[in-house]
Structure 1
Amino acid sequence: MRRADRLFQIVQHLRSGRLLTAAHLADRLEVSQRTIYRDIADLIGSGVPIDGEAGMGYMMRDGYDLPPLMFTHDEITALVAGARLLRAWGGAAMALGAENALDKIETVLPDDARLKARSVHIHALAPRGMDDEMRARIDALEAHAEQQVRLRLAYCDAAGAATMRVIRPLGLWYWGAVWTLVSWCELRSDFRMFRLDRVKTIEVLDSYTPLPGQTLADFFEQEAGCGKLSDLN
């Protein structure tokens, strides 16, 4: 859990009006009591009216509420449209995450902004081939890129030729019709993009440490400099 999310959750728990110990909060948020003590101190320092002390417990004084989130009409449209696009075109986990995030935002929006969010007329249909298997593959490859795990792919290239590649996944790109995986290809010693619909099998190998010249930032710099996209296998 991100620290910002944890601070928000602490405030939500304390708004119950009950005296809560650091041990209770630590158990609910799955962190150490020391982390809770530090977070409480930071919240108090930022002006949140929390009373109590270590060993006794904490509670929030009456009358405190989180300020409503303020978004422009364009921002609300972008959030709703983005969640709907991910629901249609994304992995199962990221689609659910987008919807849950949108639900959380909607609960703290002012009434007029909530009405705007519900009246956005942008919708999306899942493209052909976006089945449960593809959604699971998107989620898995996103996780492998984040965790920096080397993979061995059984792959068919544009000509239909089978190939086996050991890659270092860097990130996913969506092209409006297909998803591609941006990677450092160990066979070619260069950046390559692999279409997810051409991946036959994925074998998880070991973790890797990004090397200079082989990172996603290096890929973006290379694309900006050459004015074209890296080879699509």
Structure 2
Amino acid sequence: MRVLVIEDDAMLGKALVQALEDADMSVDWVRDGRLGEEAVAVGGHGFVLLDIGLPGRSGLEILRSLRLAGDKRPILMITARDELDDRVAGLDLGADDYLVKPFEVKELLARMRAVLRRHGGQAVSILGTSEVELDLSSHEVTYRGHREVLPAREFALMQALLDRPGTILSRTQLEEKLYGWGEEVESNAVDVLIHYVRRKFDKDIIRNIRGAGWMVPK
């Protein structure tokens, strides 16, 4: 999963990037509210970690703009402010959850998983169809009874496809979900990942729609 971190504190920002990358996520980090708003508009991020007290434009203003524009992606607010009014303001504007600094990385990751489950309508940390299941906590994929723990990028590929089974994703859309800014992406990178996943399971686990992209059937 590709995550956008909008946080002006250098020490916390670096720690968040490291923690999320250690959890096999692709991370982009900006330290200014206006740059953060531009980064969100570019798209491709499956989750946003948003600080409230930002230079240029506050996190609450960014959140308000996103929700008014109909953007429904998961957003977790992170802030040093612990007053009740701040928490209420963020939640009322459409934040999915709220963490007060300082916090433990384990709690952050657990809250992110919980938000993703709510967005996917899942009672447990599972995405899937009648044939494919993906466990968000263990990185296991099960297909027709065969189970494998996938490396980070292959897991991210399957998560992107299983977020909306039956939806065709183009090469560009998959690259946006799998790779962060500044990462060099080979022209056949997506094809290679799909090949690896198919080799572990079966070619039918990911269907190619000629001229359009790839999908996991419902």
Q: TM-score, normalised by structure 1?
A: 0.29
- The structure with higher relative contact order (CA 8 Å, sep 6+) is 2
Q: TM-score, normalised by structure 2?
A: 0.30
